[in-house]
């Protein structure tokens, strides 16, 4: 499990809380605090996580890309914030 939180300004926060059954990725507005996007689910499919731990937010020509280390699935997941979520 574990939770990934991203602000639309590109700042990221990871909460490695292992008490919740379904990990998730949450995007919030840095100005209003409103939740903009959510991806949750435990598993190995698209948009599912199994023990996400590390996160990086990098600029791209089309916006920002978020990389998540999905350690339980031995993969790095990539999301284009403007289109994928």
Q: Does a structural domain hold residue 37? A: yes
- Count Cα neighbours of 6 within 13 Å in the Cβ-side half-sphere: 27
Q: Does a structural domain hold residue 28? A: yes
- Which contiguous run of DSSP H or E holds residue 52? strand 52-60
Q: Which two tokens stand for residue 67?
A: 């990389």
Residue 5 has a pLDDT of 60
Residue 76 has a pLDDT of 94
Q: What's this model's pTM, rounded to 2 decimal places? A: 0.66
Q: Which residues of the chain have pLDDT under 50?
A: none
Q: Does a structural domain hold residue 85? A: no
Express each pLDDT in 33-49 by its tens digit.
Answer: 777 767 777 889 887 88
The whole-angstrom separation of Cα 47 and Cα 39 is 6
**Domain total for the chain?**
1
Closest CA to 2 of 24, 32, 35: 24
Residue 7 has a pLDDT of 56
The whole-angstrom separation of Cα 77 and Cα 85 is 12
Q: Which residue has the tokens 């996400």?
A: 52
Boundaries of domain holding 15: 3-80
Q: Does a structural domain hold residue 38? A: yes
């Amino acid at each position: 499990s574990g939770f990934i939180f991203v602000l639309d300004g590109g700042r990221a926060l990871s909460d490695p809380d292992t008490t919740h059954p379904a990990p998730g990725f949450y995007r919030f507005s840095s100005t209003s605090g409103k939740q903009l996007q959510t991806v949750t689910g435990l598993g190995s499919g698209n948009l599912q996580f199994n023990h996400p731990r590390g996160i990086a937010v990098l600029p791209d020509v089309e916006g920002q890309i978020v990389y998540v280390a999905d350690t339980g699935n031995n993969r790095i997941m990539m999301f284009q914030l403007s289109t994928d979520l």
